[in-house]
A and B are shown apart, each in its own frame.
Chain A
Amino acid sequence: MTQLQKMFRVMFVAAMMLALLTPVADAQTAFTPKGKGFNDVVKYIEKNYSAKKTKIPMLGLAKFAIWMVRPAGVKGFKLAVFEDQNFIKRADTISFSQAMRQSFKKDWSPLVQFSSKRDGASHTFIYVKQTKKDVEFAVATLGESEAVVVQAKFNPDAAAKFLENPKIMGISLGNSIRGNNTIATNRPPKPNAPASTPAAASDDSSKRVVIKDGNSDADTAPVQPTSRAVLTTNDENNPPLPAAENASAAKTTEASKPVEVKTPPREDTLRIETRLVNLNVKALDKSGKPITNLKPEDFAVFEDGTKQEVAHFKPVNAPVNLILLLDLSGSTQKKRKGMIEAANRFIDSLPAGDKISIVAFTRQYKPLTDFTADKVALKTAVKKINKIGGGTAFYDSAWKALDQLGQLSEARKAIVVLTDGEDESLISDRESAHNFDDLIGRASEEDVTIYPIYFSPNSHLNKIGILFGGSGGGLLGGESKSKTARKQLEQLAELTGGEIFSAQREEELETAYKLVANELHTLYSLAYSPDKLKHDGQFRKINVKLTRDGAVAKTRRGYFDR
């Protein structure tokens, strides 16, 4: 081989290597936006994070349809979605914030810029551009594993007109869909819905013993499939009703009320009726600290101002039956690891005798365990929450938790609910079977103490809510829904004698759980049989006083005598 050939060969190999390396180098080269808006942002994400766009079926067709039809004044849009990517690692280049600023120059104005370095970092940017009649919005969000970039152009006048009279290509879509910009309160109680829960109130919070002769019926006795003497009781000294029977008793809609047959009382009917009213009571000293060494004689219970005799008493260290109700809606999806760890520590921190039922809720109520003191089984169940996700039917789930606790004969019942409290009916048009008024009415009458842990991992987004209301509301959209939700949780805690705790981050959960665990064993349980039973449906106000100087007692406010 000649010298020339050798040289040529070396040069050829070098050239090939260079050619092969060039695309790699090019791919790794950081992309710097040049003020081209949407395209620049998408390119920046693709290049700097080596991310690939998610293919959206029919997107081209949708764009064409929008361009043709221009619904709601929208003249066009661009959309890029990146899913299941790693947006934590990126090429060593300009930050996303800088990239956004460099992408949207010229006529674009920043409207909202939000960045968080917490939990793997997230960014939300909204830019706006106004032309003569049109407005163009660009929204870019970047999270730990997802990114969305949207740019849309619309005519505000046409959009406003559409809201008033929704029509597409001359076809009416119904009545005005303009939002009702009023304060985000809960909707009023349904006209036919009971103000509270007759069955639950009378059967769960209080105990009634009816002994009937087999051949006789009480004057308004529910129809019972029995021909022998019946002892119906929920007293803790007696076994509870079978689950199915009791569950049906707990149903509260008018339609599901037991059919009542009015027959004249017979003389051979022996009717003994009593009722136990269970109370979870927290005693506080002058400085607001819990008192945990009280005896039965330290309590004085009053019903409508009349002193009652305390029939049962349990000290603060008596076992508790509780439901750990976990909100597994989308907002908590990325916090599951922390949620599992904190829940496990909570389980460990409770005394051996406490029985827990782990329940997950989304749009569905999913009990993961029955009431058990087996901590290994409980922790195994908690792991399952990783695979659950969905919406937030908070009111209905809390309602079902009360049903579930209602099946227990023992006193000392509590619900620890980890949630942001934002029931779907608060933030969307989705209907719930029970509204907040129903729930608060029932909860305030039952012997179940509720401890909400207000877990709002997206609370930073509520800062945007100053304007838009985060999850609805704000200066431009009514009261923040999250505020309403929090208020509702506070009310639930207050009216059931519980406390509300807050955790904005996963790491704060453990502290919140610790506080709940401490609180749970500051509760005394008392029960009394009211001296007068009228069954007039009126509210009986309960007041508990303590004999110690300056000490106060917290408990539920009363019950309806049905």
Chain B
Amino acid sequence: MKSTLLKLASLTLLALLATTTAFAQNARLQIDHIDRLFPNAVETIDVRVDGALLQIASKFLDKNRANEAQVKDLLNVLKGVYVKGVEFDQANQFTEQDVEAVRQQLNAPGWSKIVGVRSKRDGDNVEVSLMLNNGLIEGIGVLVTSPKQLMVVNVVGPIDPEKITELRGSFGIPKDFDFDFSGSSRRRN
């Protein structure tokens, strides 16, 4: 009996661990297919900063300074930041499949779309999604498309919304920005 419970507990623990790992892994978007668009693009950007580098970057931040300490904490747990983007001189140089390949990942379980802006006038489209796990953000995915442009930004790693809130005023986040992770972000009135 005891042995069965132990086995069950172990299995449950394993399952939980696997879930957490799976979440962390899923937060990393597969965006290498965009590389094939590079030769024909007029501008390309490819950024890969993994966890080790982020930790090195965090060494340059001072834990004794209030605003830097928050950032340091955030960087220490981040697993990576990845950006890929292409811009063409003419429209329709990439296919809907190129976009769908990213969108499908952002529509997968665990991801929640928090911002979606679509302009019919100029065809611009911005989608911001979060990978949420027990109230913690495990990843951020941003997909930006326009007839001539495709860009994906992917931040991977546990991000505490409280910490992001405390980052207001740093990293380009306006001081009056109000984070609401129940589904929207807005400026304070």
- On A, residues with C-beta under 8 Å from B are 97, 109-118, 128, 130, 135, 156-157, 159-160, 163-164, 178, 181-183, 460, 463-464, 466-467, 473-476, 478-480, 483
Contacts and interface: CB of A to CB of B under 8 A. Distances in A.
A183 B172 contact: yes
Contacts of A164: 62
Given A183-B170, A479-B172, A483-B172, 4 more contacts: A178-B62, A181-B68, A460-B45, A460-B87
Interface residues of B, number: 38
Contacts of A113: 44-47
Given A112-B47, A114-B44, A135-B56, A181 B172 contact: no
A476 B61 CA distance: 10
A161 to B, nearest CB: 9
A128 B172 CA distance: 26
Interface in B49-77: 49-50, 52-53, 56-57, 59-62, 65, 67-68, 71, 75
Contact of A128 (B53, B65, B174): B53
Interface string B6-47: 000000000000000000000000000000001001111111
A466 B153 contact: yes
Contact of A475 (B38, B81, B85): B81
Question: What is the interface of chain B mostly: helix, strand, loop, or mixed?
Answer: mixed
A48 B85 CA distance: 28
Contacts of A473: 171-172
B99 interface: no
B118 interface: no
Nearest to B47: A112
Nearest to B50: A109
A460 B67 CA distance: 29
A130 B48 contact: no
Contacts of A109: 48, 50
Interface of B: 38, 41-50, 52-53, 56-57, 59-62, 65, 67-68, 71, 75, 81, 83, 85, 87, 151, 153, 155, 169-175
A181 B153 contact: no
B175 to A, nearest CB: 7
B60 A178 contact: yes
Nearest to B57: A476
Interface-centre pick from B52, B62, B75, B85 (highest chain A CB count, 10 A) = B62
B93 to A, nearest CB: 13
Contact of B52 (A115, A130, A460): A130
A182 B170 contact: yes
Nearest to B64: A164
A335 to B, nearest CB: 16
A466 B57 contact: no
A157 B58 CA distance: 11
A182 B67 contact: yes
Interface-centre pick from A113, A164, A476 (highest chain B CB count, 10 A) = A476
Given A156-B56, A181-B67, A478-B172, A115 B50 contact: no
Given A130-B52, A181-B61, A117 B169 contact: no
A16 to B, nearest CB: 44
Contact of B85 (A110, A182, A463, A483): A463
A142 to B, nearest CB: 14
